[in-house]
Amino acid sequence: MNTNEDSNGAYYVYGFTPAGLVPEGAEGTTADAGACAGLFNAGIDEPHPPFFRRSGRVAAVLSRVSQSEFCGSPGEKNLQDLAWLAPRACRHEAVLEQVMRMGAVLPARFGTLFSSMASLESFMRLHESAMGRFLERVAGQEEWAVKGFFDQARAESDWLAQWRCEKPCRTDSPPGLAYLQEQSLRLQAREALDDRLAKVCGDLESELSLVASDMAPRRILARERPEAGREMILNWALLLPSAAVADFRGRVERVNAQEPLGGLAFEVSGPWPPYSFCQALEAEAVSEGAIRER
């Protein structure tokens, strides 16, 4: 390590952006990072503001941190401590969002460290072409999310009431037959509800594919509040040209306004850094100086 890199120090990388977007005077080292402090609210380690480091066509967004906060037993303990993790995850996200205002960004995962500037630059040279292609792909685009929530009990109750009006059971049937008829009616109503739900979601996916450059499914999250009764039934990430965002939001709002099914609602959030569309860089290609990528 050079003279301004202590044995416990490391470089925390937030992500990468085209080198041509780095403002004049905003590229630095740990010694002159203050030159671009005004571009960011704060870094992971508040006393050390983020700065840029160019290598070829790509620039890293990084800041100085203490390696022991992220590595070894203390690091593992910190990463399990929500009180420690939450504010730093928010700062990580805030830095990326500030870079997004300038242009394209390739986000790094939380906790990506390099032991020295030399190891980071080696990594960037190795992956310059892949990172450059990604940044070209996402230029002028944003990641947005659409989540679908469904109150199954409410929908089944509403749907069954509607189904009974359309297909009433005989009132003069013997008790045993009446029971079987009721069960058959409930089964038919549930199957029809499932078909209708699949159609609504499929139609929305087709609608959104008309304006999105790309779509990717994301993990369905568990119900946050069981008492709310709503289950997440879909979770999509969309890569959208900035000019298409208003159209995209309008399409989702129109589906919600039509209320195709009681208990069904679609929620939109964004813009986000394009995490869902990043391709992992080859692990075996990471330079020996890379401490960790979480």
Give ∠ CA 217-223-229 in degrees, rounded to 5: 120
Q: Which residue has the tokens 């905003």?
A: 26
pLDDT digits (tens, 9 = 90+) for 28-66: 654 455 555 567 777 888 778 899 999 999 999 999 998
In this prediction, residue 225 carries a pLDDT of: 53
Per DSSP, the three-state class of 140 is coil
Per DSSP, the three-state class of 80 is coil
Rounded CA separation 152/263 (Å): 7
Question: What are the pLDDT tens digits along the chain (294 aa)?
Answer: 333 455 678 999 999 999 998 876 666 654 455 555 567 777 888 778 899 999 999 999 999 998 888 888 888 898 898 999 999 999 999 999 999 999 999 999 999 999 999 999 999 999 999 999 999 999 999 999 999 998 877 766 666 656 555 555 555 556 555 556 656 666 766 777 778 888 889 999 999 999 999 999 999 877 555 545 678 989 999 999 999 999 999 999 999 988 666 778 899 999 999 999 987 764 333 333 444 433
Contact 88, 64 (CB under 8 A): no
In 3D, which of 69, 48, 53, 62 has the Cα closest to residue 11?
Answer: 62
Give ∠ CA 204-105-28 in degrees, rounded to 5: 165
Kindly give the residue spans of alpha helices, DSSP state H, lying in 106-244: 117-138, 152-166, 175-209
Contact 92, 14 (CB under 8 A): yes
Side chain identity at residue 174, one-letter code: P
Residue 16: both structure tokens together: 């990468």
In this prediction, residue 165 carries a pLDDT of: 56
pLDDT digits (tens, 9 = 90+) for 240-267: 999 999 999 999 999 998 866 677 889 9
Cβ neighbours for 279, distance < 8 A, ≥ 6 positions apart: 130, 134
Q: How many CB atoms lie within 10 A of CB 79?
A: 17
Q: Which residue has the tokens 């939001």?
A: 249
In 3D, which of 238, 200, 204 has the Cα closest to residue 218?
Answer: 238
Contact 64, 45 (CB under 8 A): yes
Sheet holding 141-150, edge to edge: 214-217, 231-241, 141-150, 264-272
In this prediction, residue 237 carries a pLDDT of: 96
Q: Which residue has the tokens 């030159």?
A: 35
**CB neighbour class for 4 (10 Å; exposed up to 12, middle 13-18, buried from 19):** exposed
In 3D, which of 64, 97, 68, 53 has the Cα closest to residue 8?
Answer: 68
In 3D, which of 30, 49, 29, 31 has the Cα closest to residue 39?
Answer: 49
In 3D, which of 243, 251, 242, 247 has the Cα closest to residue 271?
Answer: 242
In this prediction, residue 4 carries a pLDDT of: 44
Which residues partner with 15 through β-bridges?
61, 107
In sequence order, what DSSP letters do the residues of 19-76 get, joined into one string? GGGSPTT-B--TTSGGGGGGG-S--SSTTS--EEEEETTEEEEEEEEEGGGTSHHHHH
